[in-house]
Amino acid sequence: SYELTQPPSVSVSPGQTARITCSGNELPRHYTYWYQQKPGQAPLLVIYKDTERPSGIPERFSGSSSGTTATLTISGVQAEDEADYYCQSADSSGPSVIFGGGTKLTVL
Amino acid sequence: QVQLQESGPGLVTPSETLSLTCSVSGVSINNSPYYWGWIRQSPGKGLEWIANIHYSGRTFYNPSLRSRVTISVDTSQNQFSLILTSVAATDTAVYFCAREVVPADIPGVYNWFDPWGQGILVTVSS
């Protein structure tokens, strides 16, 4: 079955740039979306349509996509950005929604 | 603003049926372009999509859960619901409801979820 693959963890120091990748064979055909989830909270949309940022999301969050890999970039990471991040896209065979396994971002 | 709120039992007996409702405020489910969905998260695990529905009745299901899941909408109450049959311990999870935003040029199930409800923990145990 189709899967989206994310690294389990990424660690960065405050002020550095964090890059979280999401890989999947169908990503060239469908948009990627990114969510931030803090403990005990619901996921929060931070990027939609590969690169678009919802209102209220800080400019340090950006997204890109090339071939079979989408990337969430957080520039100038802050302590408050420590959270789990999930990518989401579509599986054409369903069609159905599919999520990546999640990446835990640790701010050192 | 748009808000979603899940409701239902916090404890379900194995082999029984789980029923959850999502109440929507701030937007009418009826006559809107959105889909409405359920997503769950097992303790310490990732997100798993369950199903989406449009007010017209059009539905999409996760193939791995399709045989046990029914999603429905009640436009008069501005709610949508989830039924999961023959539950087991592996169905223990936080269940979220969410709105799928559907642009004019992209069909349902291919889009993002925003906003989400706060989630409801459902434990399957005897």
- Structure confidence by residue, pLDDT tens digits, B10-31: 999 999 999 999 999 999 998 6
Are A4 and A99 contacting, i.e. CB atoms less than 8 angstroms apart? yes
The rounded distance, in Å, linking the Cα atoms of B8 and A69 is 38
Say if residue A60's pLDDT is above 80: yes
Q: Which of B63, B101, B116 sits opposite A43 (nearest CB)?
A: B116
Closest CA to A48 of B74, B110, B59, B24: B110
Q: Do A97 and B46 touch (CB under 8 A)?
A: no
Tens-place pLDDT, residues B107-121: 878 899 999 999 999
Q: How many A-B residue pairs are in contact by the CB < 8 A criterion?
A: 68
Distance in angstroms (rounded) separating the CA atoms of residues B41 and B116 = 13
For residue A66, the distance in angstroms to the closest alpha carbon of chain B comes to: 18
Angle in degrees, CA A38, A42, A47, rounded to 5: 80
Q: According to the model, what pLDDT value does residue B108 have?
A: 79
The pair of three-digit structure tokens given for residue B21, joined into one six-digit string = 């409702």
End-to-end Cα spacing for chain A: 36
Amino acid at B2: V
What SS3 state is found at B68? Answer: helix
Q: What is the per-residue pLDDT for B91?
A: 98
- Kindly report which listed range (A12-21, B49-58, B81-90) carries the lowest average pLDDT score: B49-58
**CB contacts, 8 Å: A43 with chain B:** 47, 96, 113, 116
Taking an 8 Å cut-off on Cβ atoms, the answer to whether A94 and B60 are in contact is yes
**Residue B103 confidence (pLDDT):** 84
| pLDDT in the model for residue A48 | 97
Under the banding of pLDDT at 50, 70 and 90, the label for residue B102 is: confident
Find which of A91, A93, A96 to mutate to test the B interface (most B CBs within 10 Å of its CB).
Answer: A96
